[in-house]
């Protein structure tokens, strides 16, 4: 038996939060626990029927059974172009500024490979989606964490980034509407970001997974709306949350043509693209009736309001989130987030994700995903009330 020694890039990777959550919940279910999980952000509603129908037609077409094109079929890339034109009045070139992704997660992980040499710095939001950091670590980059603080509306304070760090940084990740906090950003904030990027020669990567899940009249901007943004920015668009398509694995990278091309070169060497039937489903999602999106958003709004009303009864005074399907709440004083989450789960079978899983600045909070139907939300909070769990 040989002595295995794994590469440092693997040794330095933390366990993936959601894989651990899945394991813990599965073990509890095996013991007979009636688990209500507000953990992973995976829509519980089905993919709309007209999208599924188009995928079935694609699967039955022998023309889709061969290798797909690496960049994505032209029809899907054009559908992305049309979406950006209609939604943001942003003009994109389907051949040079759009790349199909096997879900935006893989594109986010691959992007640092294109931009960072060992020792180069990536500016990463904390708390934030874990893949920003792990993608940086995998190419031996150096993560520099930008605190997202409640008093700043969970926006990074660019003035607080050390000048010498900014000069060494090659990449900045952003995500608004934000996972895990639910915070939103204004066009004015993105203007500041683009100015900062020009000043320090930094590429900005905006993860726009939740731009279509917004409430109360708020419409999320694209960073590409900002003049000259395409010279320093790319954006990740995902169909996963907007159309309940997390398992389909389809998204796109758009923006700066050189960066889009570089990520495409990485991908052509490590994967063979998206099954074309899935891309046809994506075309149908983007080009078909958008009333399904309105219906999906209305479901999350009802759930958000139900969760907030129950939280207020338990002592939380949490403001309504204007985007995503998450609610971000502080834990009681003197209690660590992980311990608070474990206590609730042990007593009630209800799971809230500890915020520390998204970074050190997430400690002191838990995240609730609204991917739970209203009856189960009511049941979950009845269990909390019965067990005396409250903010104070």
Closest CA to 342 of 18, 19, 16, 28: 28
Question: Does the pLDDT of residue 124 top 80, yes or no?
Answer: yes
Quickly state the pLDDT bin for 13 (edges 50, 70, 90): confident
Give me the pLDDT at residue 16, please.
67
Give me the pLDDT at residue 2, please.
79
Give me the pLDDT at residue 34, please.
95
Per DSSP, which regions of 208-312 are E strands?
233-238, 251-255
226 touches 194 (CB < 8 A): yes
Pick the range with the lowest mean pLDDT from 40-44, 46-50, 297-301.
40-44
d(CA 173, CA 162): 17
Quickly state the pLDDT bin for 17 (edges 50, 70, 90): low
d(CA 251, CA 236): 7
d(CA 371, CA 378): 13
Question: Does the pLDDT of residue 12 top 80, yes or no?
Answer: no
Question: Does the pLDDT of residue 8 top 90, yes or no?
Answer: no
Q: What is the pLDDT of residues 260-272, one digit of tens each?
A: 999 999 999 999 9
Mean pLDDT of 347-352: 96
Question: Does the pLDDT of residue 364 top 80, yes or no?
Answer: yes
Question: Does the pLDDT of residue 10 top 90, yes or no?
Answer: no
Q: Which CATH number fits domain 49-287: 3.10.129.10, 3.30.930.10, 1.10.3720.10, 3.40.640.10?
A: 3.40.640.10
Residue 140 in tokens: 């031996």
CATH number of 8-46+291-386: 3.90.1150.10
Give the percent of the chain with pLDDT over 90. Answer: 91
Pick the range with the lowest mean pLDDT from 179-183, 219-223, 235-239, 387-391.
387-391
Q: Where are the domains of the chain?
A: 8-46+291-386, 49-287
Computed over every residue of the chain, the mean pLDDT equals: 95
100 touches 71 (CB < 8 A): yes
Give me the pLDDT at residue 19, please.
75
Mean pLDDT of 222-243: 98
Give me the pLDDT at residue 202, please.
98
Question: Does the pLDDT of residue 292 top 80, yes or no?
Answer: yes
Same fold, 8-46+291-386 and 49-287: no
* H/E run at residue 123: strand 121-126
Give me the pLDDT at residue 9, please.
80
Residue 229 in tokens: 């943004």
Give me the pLDDT at residue 219, please.
97
């Amino acid at each position: 038996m040989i002595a295995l020694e794994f590469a440092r890039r693997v040794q330095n990777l933390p366990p993936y939060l959601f894989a651990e959550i899945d394991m813990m919940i599965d073990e509890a279910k095996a013991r007979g626990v009636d688990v209500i999980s507000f953990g992973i952000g995976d829509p519980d509603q089905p993919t709309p029927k007209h999208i599924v129908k188009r995928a079935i037609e694609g699967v039955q077409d022998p023309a889709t059974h061969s290798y797909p094109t690496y960049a994505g079929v032209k029809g899907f890339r054009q559908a992305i172009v049309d979406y950006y034109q209609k939604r943001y009045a942003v003009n994109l070139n389907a051949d040079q500024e759009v790349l199909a992704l096997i879900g935006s997660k893989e594109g986010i992980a691959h992007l640092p490979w294109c931009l960072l040499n060992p020792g180069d710095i990536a500016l990463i939001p904390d708390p934030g989606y874990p893949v920003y950091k792990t993608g940086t670590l995998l190419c031996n980059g150096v993560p520099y964490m930008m605190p997202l603080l409640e008093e700043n509306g969970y926006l990074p304070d660019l003035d607080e980034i050390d000048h010498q760090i900014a000069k060494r940084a090659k990449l900045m990740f952003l995500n608004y509407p934000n996972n895990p906090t639910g915070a939103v950003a204004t066009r004015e904030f993105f203007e500041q970001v683009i100015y900062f990027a020009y000043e320090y020669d930094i590429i900005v990567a905006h993860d726009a997974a939740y731009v279509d899940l917004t409430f109360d009249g708020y419409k999320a901007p694209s960073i590409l709306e900002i003049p000259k943004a395409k010279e320093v920015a790319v954006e990740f668009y995902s169909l996963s949350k907007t159309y309940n398509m997390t398992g389909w694995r389809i998204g796109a990278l758009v923006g700066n043509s050189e960066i889009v091309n570089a990520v495409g070169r990485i991908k052509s060497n490590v994967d063979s693209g998206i099954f074309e039937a899935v891309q046809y489903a994506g075309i149908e999602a983007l080009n078909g009736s958008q009333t399904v999106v309105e219906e999906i958003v209305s479901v999350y709004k009802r759930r958000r309001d139900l969760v907030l009303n129950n939280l207020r009864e338990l002592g939380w005074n949490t403001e309504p989130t204007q985007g995503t399907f998450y609610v971000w709440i502080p834990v009681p004083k003197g209690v660590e987030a992980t311990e608070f989450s474990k206590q609730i789960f042990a007593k009630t079978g209800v799971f809230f994700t500890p915020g520390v899983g998204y970074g050190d600045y997430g400690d002191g909070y838990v995240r609730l995903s609204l991917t739970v139907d209203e009856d189960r939300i009511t049941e979950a909070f009845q269990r909390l009330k019965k067990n005396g769990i409250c903010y104070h």
